Amino acid sequence: MTRPRQPTRIQARNRAAILEAALDVFSALGYRGATVDRIATAAGLSKPNLLYYFPSKEAIHEELLGRLLDTWLDPLRALDPEGDPLEEILAYVRRKLEMSRDYPRESRLFANEIVQGAPRIHAILSTDLKALVDEKAALLARWMEEGRIARVHPYHLIFSIWSLTQHYADFDVQVRAVLGSEDPFAGAPEFVETLYRRLLTPG
């Protein structure tokens, strides 16, 4: 059996440059506003050269989204059923906030896809994502039944963590316009942790 050929260093470098440029273009302009020509220019390649690596704009977008979803869901997967419930949830909140700080373009890429109705990842949202959220919501509900955290709606708890932490990436321009010279991520961790600690500490 013939093994698939390993890409050369130049091929690997060009592929990485295309994905990096596409992330900039898609996160700024959305799927509809992005073009192969614009991505090729941002990557420093000709359009034919780009199409050697990816046959279409959609192929590039799907590659980015596939990588992003794995990264995005890893912190939720990491919720440990055997850990301290409140500390597990707070660690999840902190990690999601760190991801908004460290991966703002990826967050906006995902947000743009969702706003457009998730045409390229809807199947994943309704299968893989739903299964994971169902599993973790059941875990949260068990912790609530055991009296280890306060009773709230487990799904809406997850939604609130997503929306609150990702706001700092998806609405970065607005946040920075309001805060001026203050670093948004200087005060956010303490505020968010206090919010969820007070919400979830049993009364």
Chain centroid to CA 73: 7
48: left (phi over 0), alpha (psi -120 to 50) or beta: alpha
* pLDDT tier for residue 5 given thresholds of 50, 70 and 90: low
Query: Do 182 and 122 belong together in one domain?
Result: yes
- Predicted confidence (pLDDT) at residue 14 exceeds the cutoff of 70: yes
Give this prediction's pTM.
0.84
* Whole-number Cα distances in Å, 194 to 78, 93, 95, 197: 21, 11, 15, 5
DSSP state of 127: I
CATH, residue 46: 1.10.10.60
DSSP state of 128: I
Mean pLDDT of the chain: 92
C-alpha–C-alpha distance, residues 64 and 22, integer Å: 8
* Whole-number Cα distances in Å, 52 to 31, 46, 55, 74: 20, 10, 7, 32
Query: Do 72 and 48 belong together in one domain?
Result: no
Residue listed under structure tokens 């599993």? 135
Structural domain includes residue 60: no
CATH, residue 120: 1.10.357.10
| Domain that residue 100 falls in | 65-200
* Whole-number Cα distances in Å, 13 to 17, 44, 65, 74, 138: 6, 12, 20, 26, 43
Query: Do 45 and 131 belong together in one domain?
Result: no
Tally of domains within the chain: 2
Query: Do 47 and 128 belong together in one domain?
Result: no
pLDDT digits (tens, 9 = 90+) for 15-45: 999 999 999 999 888 888 999 999 999 999 9
- Predicted confidence (pLDDT) at residue 3 exceeds the cutoff of 60: no
Query: Do 183 and 139 belong together in one domain?
Result: yes
Q: Which of 2-11, 66-75, 102-111, 138-147 has the highest mean pLDDT?
A: 138-147
- Predicted confidence (pLDDT) at residue 125 exceeds the cutoff of 90: no
